Structure formats: C-alpha cells, structure tokens
Amino acid sequence: MAQETANSIKRVGVIGGGQLAWMMGPAAQKLGLNLVVQTPQQSDPAVAIAHSTVLAPVADVAATAALAAQCDVITFENEFIDREGLQSLIDRGTIFRPGLDVLTLVLDKRHQREFFAQAGLPNPRYSWLEGDEPDAELAAKAETIGFPLVMKTRRLGYDGQGTTVVKEPSDLSLTWDRFNRVPVLLEELVAFKQELAIMVARSAQGEIAVYPTVETEQVDQICRRVVAPARVSAGVASRMEGIARTLVEALQLVGIVGIECFLTQSDRILINEIAPRTHNSGHYTLDASQTSQFEQQLRAVSDRPLGPTALTCPQTVMVNLLGLAADEATHHQRLEALKQLPNATLYWYTKGIRPGRKLGHITQRLGPGDDPTAAAAAIEAVWYGP
C-alpha cells in the first residue's frame, strides 16, 4: 500500500460520463483518486460521482484540453473521439491511457481485423469495402466469404447497430444501399455454440491481470446475460487467456480491454471484436471478483499495482436491465421485486427511461450446485416478464 500512497497520479480524467464512468466512483474513492469527467449533460450518470465535470460532447477537443488542465492522466469510457484533434494535446504533454493509437484501431473494424491477423490472433473470414466500389466487386468479395454472411458498418456500430445478416447474393446491394454505401466489413456468419468474453488489464510497467473467461448471451444483438466462469473446458479457458495476453502485449495497452469471441462446435475460438475500456461482460466483477474491472482500469492508468482477479464465489450471473415498453411506475415496481432476490446486487444507472436502453444490471452470486441458466432466467422473468 505504501507504493500506492506515494503515487504521483491523483487526478484522472474520464472522457464519457455514462454508467461505465459512474461505476468507477467507489473504486476512485478507495484508491484516493479524483475523477474529472467530460460529458455532455448535467444529468449523465457519472456527474454524480465526479470531483468536477467538463460539460461538453466527448469529441470536443477544446473541452478535452480543459479536462487535461485539471488531470494527471486521461482515460476513456467512450471511444468515439476526435483522434486527429486530440493529437495536438499529446504534443503539449497530455497523457492518454490507453493511447490514441489503440482508440483509432477500434474505430474501424477493418483495422481491428488486420491488427488481429498481424498479431496471429484468430479471425473469421472477412473482407471490406471502402464505399465507392461497384456491385460487381461487392459480389466478388462476398463470394470469397460465402453465404450467409454478416455486413457491418466499419465505424460507429455498437450493440448490434450497423450489423445485418445477408442470406443471399441478391440481398447484397440492397443491404449496402440501406447502409448508404458507407465503408463496411464483410464477415463469415460463424456457427458458434457459445459466445465468450474475457477482460484483461495491462499497466505501463507491463504487468498483466487476466480475469476468468465468461459466457455472454445476446438478445437482439445486445448482451442480455453473463455467466462467470464460462462453462468450457480447461483448454478453451487457457487459449482465451493466451489470446488476452497476446492482444494486450501487441497493443502495448495501458488500461483494460474486453475481448468478445465465438466458440465453434469444434472448440475453435474466433475473435469478434474488442473494447479498450471497461465492458458489459465485466460488470459481474463489481460483486464477484477480488478487484472490479473499474478499479483495475484506474489502477492501470494511475500506475498503481494491478489487483487480483479471482472470483470470490463459485459462480455468478449478471443480467442487463433494458428499458421496457412500459411506464416508469412499472419499471420501479419490477426493480423492487428484483431487490428481494437473495445474494443479488442491483445497479440502476439513473438514465432516462426508453425501450431498449441499458438502464441497469443485476448480479447474483451463486453456489457451486446452482444452475446459472435457471438463475438468469428467473431474474429475466421478473424484469421482462414470462
């Protein structure tokens, strides 16, 4: 602890003021850090836990310059930044962790895929378009991948936005037209048996901390539930850890990253995508790990020793609470019902309610004989209905 007390980094800037920054609050207090948050609205969740706030859009470079004046280091809750604009701040001494090159990488899915390939990490088959190619080239590239395939916008897509399955060659041009012919990635539609994820942190000194592999389940392309640890073989878990370590070393990451993967019927692992920040698949760590992902991110970017990552219970489930097509009273009635569940912790992000929006999550700690699928289904029945 003496090393932490003597640390010179005391003020951490956070670009983005949503729930991911909000959940850093208790960890910042524990570590003796002041958080300064850049976010557009006074009502954004992280304003409540910030030492001070810069009210501005996350891509506002002038606002980030004002943020930098109040901080020792800046990290991110949101990667949709003005990369070119922020370079001028680096030239004036601002420290971003992770570095802007890492953020640039994830802003374009083609660049992600190429980076994974260069690092020897497992990709599905893929190709790409820049937006000005004729239909014949689109058809030729799609043919090398095979149908059905997935078309994704290369920039700004998340939670399933900008992602469509193309079943037949005749649907290709129409689908791209609906995307306004923006640059896209074409990928094989992976026949997976499980979707897996893993969180991993790395410090500036090269220390690495890897969390257990977890299972994620999506509904309408948005994460609905997470089971930790994943119900996979020791070999699969070991390979997931190897991928995590290889990735953060290749990135020279300082911070934390979530890695989403597909597990095929033959136990082949393929990377889907990464997020160089805290991630939905790591929310369970708040209640079921020795060090939460939020504390780990702050430890990494503030030059504190990384914390242990072991689970503090045999297994756990996390369920996302999305906005319902119901009034506010119904939401709060169901929240009260969730609070009665045993060994469960509820997080409500205090965001405006609208259908499909991530409004909160709940984590339930489980014993060795409990069925995590049944536990998650019971939570979902309370929130979403039978």
Q: What tens digit of pLDDT does each residue of 130-183 get? A: 999 999 999 999 999 999 999 999 987 665 568 999 999 999 999 999 999 999
Sheet of 34-39: strand order equals 52-55, 34-39, 11-15, 73-76
Domain map (residue ranges) of the chain: 2-96, 125-188, 192-384
Tell me the C-alpha distance between 278 and 234, whole Å. 25
Tell which wins on pLDDT, 6 or 264.
Answer: 264
Q: State which fold the 2-96 domain adopts.
A: Rossmann fold (3.40.50)
Whole-angstrom distance, CA of residue 50 vs CA of residue 25: 7
HSE-CB at 163 with a 13 A cutoff on CA atoms is: 16
Which pTM was predicted?
Answer: 0.94
Give 36-89 pLDDT, tens digit per residue.
Answer: 999 999 999 999 999 999 999 999 999 999 999 999 999 999 888 888 899 999
Q: What are the DSSP calls for 175-194, one per residue? A: HHHHTTT--EEEEE---EEE
pLDDT band at 101 (very low <50, low <70, confident <90, very high): very high
> What is the DSSP track for 292-357?
-HHHHHHHHHTTPPPPP--BSSSEEEEEEEEPPSS-HHHHHHHHHHHTTSTTEEEEE--PPP-TT-
Residue showing tokens 């949709």: 80
CA gap 351, 19 in Å, rounded? 9
d(CA 261, CA 263): 7
Tokens for 256, please give them: 């934390």
Rounded Cα distance between 209 and 293, Å, is 10
Average pLDDT over every residue of 282-306:
98
Give the three-class secondary structure for 279. coil
Indicate the pairing of strand 34-39 with strand 52-55: parallel
- Round to whole Å and give the CA distance between 247 and 41: 34
Please determine, for residue 6, whether its predicted confidence score (pLDDT) is greater than 60. Answer: no
pLDDT at residue 159 in the model: 56
Same fold, 2-96 and 125-188: no
**pLDDT confidence of residue 158:** 62
Strands 255-264 and 315-322, how do they pair?
A: unpaired
Across 257-262, average pLDDT: 98
Measured CA to CA, the distance from residue 49 to residue 22 in angstroms comes to: 6
Q: With cut-offs at 50, 70 and 90, classify the pLDDT of residue 318.
A: very high
What is the mean predicted confidence (pLDDT) over 259-271?
A: 97
Residue with tokens 């536990």: 375
For 192-384, give the CATH class.
alpha beta
- Mean pLDDT over all residues of the chain? 95
Q: What does the pLDDT average to over 196-212?
A: 98
Q: What angle do CA 190, 192, 194 make, to 5 degrees?
A: 145
- Over 80: is that where the pLDDT of 1 sits? no
Question: What is the structure's pLDDT at 48?
Answer: 97
| CATH fold group of domain 125-188 | Dna Ligase; domain 1 (3.30.1490)
Residue 346 has pLDDT above 70, yes or no: yes
